[in-house]
Amino acid sequence: MARFVIEGGKPLEGEIDINGAKNAVLPILAGTVLAEGQSVISRVPNLRDVRVMKEVLTLLGSKVEDKPGKMIIDTKDVDSCEIPQELMQKMRASVFLMGPLVARFGQVEISQPGGCSIGSRPIDLHLKGLEALGVEFTEDENSLKGKADELKGAEIHLDFPSVGATENIMMAATKAKGLTKIYNAAREPEIVDLQNFLNKLGANIKGAGTDVIKIKGVEKLHAIDYRVIPDRIEAGTFLIGAAITGGQVIAKDLIPVHIESILAKLSETGVKVETIDDKVRVTGVEDWQGVQLKTLPYPGFPTDMQPQFMTFLSIAEGRSVITETIFDNRLQHAKELNKMGANIEVNNSSAIVNGVAKLSGTRVEASDLRAGAALILAGLSAEGKTKVDNIYHIDRGYENIEDKLTKLGANIIRVK
């Protein structure tokens, strides 16, 4: 299996273009099924998850053509509502097809996506929301079938502002009769992007970005062209790369307001952060301070940046406390960082990070996507050679991360 080998100690210097957001493009690609015809989605990152989404769309009957940074999807001949277990297991985001398929065909068949290494990740809120719109679910050992003769608008109160549940309900409600209101909706930028995409398709949605989203059902949607927002997590990861190596990186073509909570935390540690229009420049400093950090739904600090920030804090001055409130098992990278000389104690959902002077390269294992990114950052700053195993997780969410880092001056190679 492939791994990254990193020779640490090289400061990252230069400019980097940010790709389209994985968490925006996946529901949008699923959402193309809502309308019959050819949609062109641009700023599509070349990620493993995107390639699996292409497989799913093709299997359902879409014609999908890939161009660099673009996907052309013709959904006219979609004639299947069934997503095989194998693809569900390859990618949790297959669950985003539930809303579009019940809206267009009144039926869907998937298997429960199950947990993943960062937590138990049930989909009860998706199912409750879709049931409120009129979908009836039956479940057996291998499959979960949803059926609806007609979808009707409803008032849905989410117990938690789940990103995926908000998105699935929004997509299903686009064609439901009457008005749907989602209370306690997730407010992430990717929800706003989905609203913009769906409204361009002809939907009537207001309120994304606030905690109440209102969807007036429409009869018909039509295929369109759409450009996806930049990936705030990719941007945050590279900017921490600059800070942790004492370099200077400008992330270009992003929406700085999307990463304000990350930039605020970086500034709190003492790192220099500047925002100029659609660019953010981070300049590393010699010593930075430990801080308290708690992951929260947007606009709070994103859980998808917690592992990378833990690496950064592992060599900060003094003690930091990190509390993970979104996922129930997302501190596994602490053990790997400790193998590299960090001093991190994990107690349930909190980690006490006692800053050490430096990390030392060794062999470590990525347990998931962002844990993998955190270990790359650790390798970039460490003394000596770091080998990161299980990098297929990283390929789910970062396009050519080694090439981008190499352009910034890092010494990182992929070894097959």
Ligand X SMILES: CC(=O)N[C@H]1[C@@H](OP(=O)(O)OP(=O)(O)OC[C@H]2O[C@@H](n3ccc(=O)[nH]c3=O)[C@H](O)[C@@H]2O)O[C@H](CO)[C@@H](O)[C@@H]1O
Residues 6+ apart with CB under 8 A from 51: none
Q: Residue 248 corresponds to which amino acid?
A: Q
Question: Which of 12, 130, 163, 170 touches ligand X (CB under 6 A)?
Answer: 163
Which is nearest to 380 in space by CA: 312, 290, 317? 312
Residue 205 engages ligand PEP in binding (rule: CB under 6 A): no
Selection from ligand PEP, ligand X, none that 305 binds (CB < 5 to 8 A by kind) is: none
Q: Does 188 bind ligand PEP (CB under 6 A)?
A: no
Q: Name which of 29 and 176 has its Cβ closer to ligand PEP.
A: 29
Q: Nearest to ligand X by Cβ — which residue?
A: 164
Q: Does 75 bind ligand X (CB under 6 A)?
A: no
Crossing angle of the two packed helices 189-201 and 22-31, in degrees rounded to 10: 30
119 binds, options ligand X, ligand PEP, none, Cβ within 5 to 8 A by partner type = ligand X
Pick one of ligand X, ligand PEP, none as the site partner of residue 397 (Cβ within 5 to 8 A by kind): ligand PEP
Cβ closer to ligand PEP: 35 or 233? 233
Contact flag: residue 369 with ligand PEP (CB under 6 A): yes
Of 5, 64, 72, 116, which is the active-site residue? 116
262 is in an annotated binding site: no
Could you tell me which stretch among 97-105, 121-129, 144-152, 213-221 binds ligand X (CB under 6 A)? 121-129
**In whole angstroms, how close is the CB of 305 to ligand PEP at the nearest point?**
9
> Site mask, ligand X, residues 14-43, x = CB under 6 A?
---------x--x-----------------
Partner from ligand PEP, ligand X, none binding residue 369, C-beta < 5-8 Å depending on class = ligand PEP
Residue 116 annotated among the catalytic residues of the structure: yes
Residue 14 or 122: the one with the smaller Cβ distance to ligand X is 122
Q: Which of 370, 393, 399, 408 binds ligand PEP (CB under 6 A)?
A: 370
By CB under 6 A, how many residues form the interface with ligand PEP?
A: 7
Cα-only R_g, the chain: 21
Query: Using CB distances below 5 to 8 A depending on partner kind, what does residue 393 bind out of ligand X, ligand PEP, none?
Result: none
Q: CB of residue 121 vs ligand X: minimum separation in angstroms?
A: 4
101 is in an annotated binding site: no
3 marked ligand binding residue: no
Is there a contact between 316 and 357 (Cβ–Cβ < 8 Å)? no
Return the residue nearest ligand PEP (CB atom). Answer: 304
Q: Which is nearer to ligand X, 369 or 382 (CB)?
A: 369
Point out which span in 122-130, 206-214, 217-225, 277-285 binds ligand X (CB under 6 A): 122-130
Is 304 one of the annotated binding-site residues? Answer: yes
| Prior bond of 256 cis (ω within 30°) | no
Separation CA 228–CA 205 (nearest Å): 18
CA 5, 344, 341 angle in degrees (round to 5)? 40
Task: Name the binder of 122 from ligand X, ligand PEP, none, CB < 5-8 A by kind.
Answer: ligand X
Q: Does the annotation list 92 as a binding residue?
A: yes
Of the candidates 201, 150, 284, 255, the one whose C-alpha atom is nearest the C-alpha of residue 33 is: 201
Catalytic residues: 116
Interface residues with ligand PEP (CB under 6 A) are 92-93, 118, 304, 369-370, 397
Q: Interface with ligand X by CB under 6 A: which residues?
A: 23, 26, 93, 119-126, 160, 162-165, 186, 190, 303-304, 326-327
